[in-house]
Chain A
Amino acid sequence: MALVRVSQPDPLRTTSAAAASATSGVRATGESMSDAQESMASQGTPASWTGDASQAAANEFTALSARLDAASAAFVRAVTVLDAFDDTLQTLSSRRIDLVERVSELNGRIDTYDADVAASDKDDATAQEALVQRSANLEREATALQADVDAWNRDQESAEQTVIAGLQGVDTVAEGQSAASAPNRADAAALADQLQQKVDSGDPEAVADWWSGLSPEQVAALVMHSPQLVGNAGGVPSEVRDEANRTSMLSDIDYLTQRRDDGQLTDLERQQLMNAEDARDTLDDYQDRIDPETGENQAFLLVYRPDAFNGDGGVAMSLGNPDTADDVTSFVPGLTSEATSLSGNVESMDRLMQLADGKNGDRSVAAITWIDYDAPSSGEGLTDDPWDFLQVAGQGKATDGGERFADFVDGMRASDQGPDAHFTAIGHSYGSTTVSHAATDNDLQVDDMVLIGSPGTGSADTATDLMPEGHLFVGSADYDPVTLLGSPAIGALGHDPAQADFGAHRFEVDPGSYRVQDLFENHSSYFNEGSTSLDAMADVVAGQTPDEVDGRTLGSYQTLDTLVVGSSVVSGGEQIWNGVEWTGGQVADAAGWTWDRAKDAGSWLNPFD
């Protein structure tokens, strides 16, 4: 008897990303309504206005507020069912992948069986008996597998009917009014107060515990009511932080775009809109980054504070879910970093993540770009000359940023699911000073630390002031002048961690160009595609140890003054010899410029005198 092949499961008719997108739109609309209702309630009916007109205005507000309340209640219900639908879709997606594989494998064995039957000797009773036995076994397996496939199909149908019923339950204004007066309605304002208290206590573990006790409807109501609070609260699951921050972002863009169109935008709002649009554009760049199993988008907006730091903004974005990843890294960039620097830094993290992912077997990786501190920026009257920054910036912003970064990592630790992730902090340039302060001043909870292009390690005198023995990794290009600023040279931002006596594990970095006009390019080359430094950092992120090279010792490397003079001379000779790219005058200018800056920096402590 011919065996029947098992049918494949139906196509997944709605992707998780599509459901998430619909949910985001509804949530952002709900947040805008909540904002409007709140602002009108607090300031829309002035107490210092009485009389009939005032009473009429108050009545108008009451009526409008009731309409917004009904809409909010409907939206909370809709978001709750859409969120649940999204979760179910992720499970269905994962199950479907498994089913497709099993069906293909079993149908392949049935094909083989049929071929064996066709080729068998009909007179060979033993062989025929074995085939009958195989047939029975295959039929039993096929029946069971078909039952699984049918169950999957039913589950998809059931999930669709559930979300349809949920949406249909609140698709009229009357139903919204009914939802608003439901006795078990979540009290979003009260929940927000409770969460704020937990956040203020500075204990993200307590936030995580409290959060785990919320119902789906409470979560939906709270995110819609207070997305800024939820999105930036350590201990809240990363998926929810992402949903909340996207809600704030979309709502900000809606509101500020309208203000811009009305010609009402203030300078701070203009900056805020720019930050919001930059975050949106960066997320859009990774909208196709989908988990192949769950169908879930893998870009997470973990921090969104577009008005922070006088409009520079604070932002953090992860590629990969940091709550479920086995290896997590968080990168702190340096000078001039602000919210609009997100895109380029995320690209660097993407390269690092891909490389690390290829090194750690079955383990998963998440790479976070964290720009939620007030990095020295041109907005403070500084030029884009790194020497100026290093002289003017000092350690104050690294100290403040270090505290914020340590708090952020604590939050990530608290929302981590399953076994503790292996966590690596990476700091570049001034960001390395920031990460150092996070460790020395705030007990940064990471397993490994990487400092690249470091101008100094703050108050750390040795590697063990930052991390346990063997867990501090340093990359310093020989011709990166910023790495030559740390003690024993100028030392305004602390020690040079590449010095041998500092005790860190120094890994190999391409030395960089020895042309004077390229020296600062060398400082920003650590994440370049195919670079030895990127490979070494990927090793660390993947929990491996990169090859070690000798640390700096007196006489083994070019100090800042030697580098500046030497590269100027070489560049001048080279360019004069080539006579193509640069004229001798330009080279002389570049050499003079670099020399002047070096002298300016050096005049602090007079190292050249």
Chain B
Amino acid sequence: MSSVEADWNAITAAARVWDGAADGLDGAWRRLHGTTGAPMAPNVAAAFETFREAWVDEVKDVATTAQAHAESLDDAAATYSSVDDAAYQRIRSLMPWSYRDSTIDPDGGPPPMPTPSPGPSPSPPPPSDSTPATPQPSPGPSPTPSPSPTGGD
């Protein structure tokens, strides 16, 4: 496998380009299909029809392929996002507890120093509406983090 670099925004933008191209091609084959040029001499009309139908089929197929390509790019972007999110969750789960709430520096800097903490609290702070909460056990690291719908970049 070669090295991988995935710019999520670029991939989704490319998907839109292919989708737009597929739209254009879809309109194109329909236009060609509807072109008759009637009335023409019968022999000319027959030759034109043969030409037209051959290329209607081809352009239609190219349009379908372009649309499928757009969708595969969308899928790729979603998969990269999902993989990135899963890796994030997993790596975060390996961090010391005191780092678990730290944010990721988009510039790649080290995480901020942890705030001194006694560790997992047996009773999490109450919600903002001050409703008494039932004590919950700490979830701890999740072995199978669920994918996030958010983008990875």
Across the interface, which residues of B come within 8 angstroms of A29, CB to CB?
28-29, 31-32, 35, 55, 59
B78 within 8 A of A: no
Chain B nearest CB, measured from A181 CB (Å): 17
Chain B nearest CB, measured from A473 CB (Å): 44
Across the interface, which residues of B come within 8 angstroms of A51, CB to CB?
1-6
Known: A163-B44, A167-B47, A255-B27. A22 touches B36 (CB 8 A): yes
Docked Cα-Cα span, A167 to B50, in Å, equals 8
Partner of B37, one of A22, A61, A173, A251: A22
- Cβ B43 vs Cβ A32 within 8 A: no
- Cβ A14 vs Cβ B24 within 8 A: no
Across the interface, which residues of A come within 8 angstroms of B48, CB to CB?
22, 167
Docked Cα-Cα span, A37 to B25, in Å, equals 10
Known: A51-B6, A71-B59. A57 touches B69 (CB 8 A): yes
Chain A nearest CB, measured from B50 CB (Å): 5
- Cβ B41 vs Cβ A13 within 8 A: yes
Chain A nearest CB, measured from B132 CB (Å): 47
- Cβ A40 vs Cβ B11 within 8 A: no
Q: How large is the interface on B (under 10, 10 to 19, 20 to 34, 35 or more residues)?
A: 35 or more
Residue of B nearest to A61 (CB): B69
A291 within 8 A of B: no
- Cβ B17 vs Cβ A40 within 8 A: yes
Across the interface, which residues of B come within 8 angstroms of A19, CB to CB?
37, 40
Partner of A171, one of B10, B27, B50, B72: B50
Partner of A64, one of B13, B26, B35, B62: B62
Interface residues of B (CB under 8 A from A): 1-7, 10-11, 13-14, 17-18, 20-32, 34-44, 47-48, 50-52, 54-55, 58-59, 62, 65-66, 69, 72-73, 76
Known: A46-B11, A64-B66. A32 touches B24 (CB 8 A): yes
Residue of A nearest to B7 (CB): A48
Across the interface, which residues of A come within 8 angstroms of B2, CB to CB?
50-52, 55
Tell me if A's interface is mostly helix, strand, loop or mixed. helix
- Cβ B3 vs Cβ A44 within 8 A: no
Across the interface, which residues of B come within 8 angstroms of A164, CB to CB?
43-44, 47
Across the interface, which residues of A come within 8 angstroms of B65, CB to CB?
60, 64
Docked Cα-Cα span, A54 to B6, in Å, equals 9
- Cβ B24 vs Cβ A36 within 8 A: yes
Docked Cα-Cα span, A168 to B27, in Å, equals 24
Docked Cα-Cα span, A26 to B73, in Å, equals 30
- Cβ B43 vs Cβ A22 within 8 A: no
Q: Number of A residues contacting the other chain (C-beta, 8 Å)? A: 64
Partner of B28, one of A28, A171, A262: A28
Known: A36-B21, A49-B11, A51-B5. A13 touches B40 (CB 8 A): yes
- Cβ A32 vs Cβ B27 within 8 A: yes
Chain A nearest CB, measured from B7 CB (Å): 4
Across the interface, which residues of A come within 8 angstroms of B41, CB to CB?
13-14, 160
Known: A15-B39, A21-B35. A50 touches B21 (CB 8 A): no
Across the interface, which residues of A come within 8 angstroms of B39, CB to CB?
14-15, 18
| Additional A-B contact list (15), CB under 8 Å, known A44-B14, A50-B4, A251-B27 | A22-B36, A36-B21, A36-B66, A39-B24, A43-B17, A46-B14, A48-B10, A49-B7, A50-B2, A55-B2, A60-B65, A64-B62, A170-B51, A253-B27, A254-B30
Known: A46-B11, A160-B44. A60 touches B5 (CB 8 A): no
